[in-house]
Amino acid sequence: MSSGYTVSVTDRVMIAHSFRGEVFGPAQRLHGATYVVAATFGRTALDPDGLVVDIGLAHEALAAVLEPLRYQNLDELECFAGENTTTEYLAGWLHGRLVEAVQAGELGPHAGGLAFIEVKLHESDVAWAAYRGPVAGA
């Protein structure tokens, strides 16, 4: 999307996890992370109500997809079995859950017109990773 409108909402989530592979050095050991998570919803034209998406519903949806991760060791969750839950991986996984919320009607009747959702996980004030993908056909 080269031009258009966006709405972003943020939340936080505290997790623990470890990684497999020498490339991760000391992060192979169990460690914690507190992510600031931003979800950006975009479309080329506003919906019939003059919105990108209902900002309240967007915030509720983000909180809902983060809830099963809060204060959890991701290594122990079935949904991440066999995965290295890197910041990049988690951004893509959260994108998928938000797309499911759109498709289930949880972000309002016009949210299906969204062009994309971007999920950005800030590990700190100087480092983050993001995944941006389409809503339709995801």
All domains of the chain in start order, with CATH? 5-134 (3.30.479.10)
Q: By the 8 A CB rule, do 17 and 75 touch?
A: yes
Res. 108: pLDDT tops 60: yes
- How is 4-50 classified by DSSP, letter by letter? -EEEEEEEEEEEEE---SGGGGGGGS-EEEEEEEEEEEEESS--TTS
Residue 68 banded pLDDT, cuts 50, 70, 90: very high
pTM as predicted: 0.95
Q: For residue 136, what pLDDT is reported?
A: 80
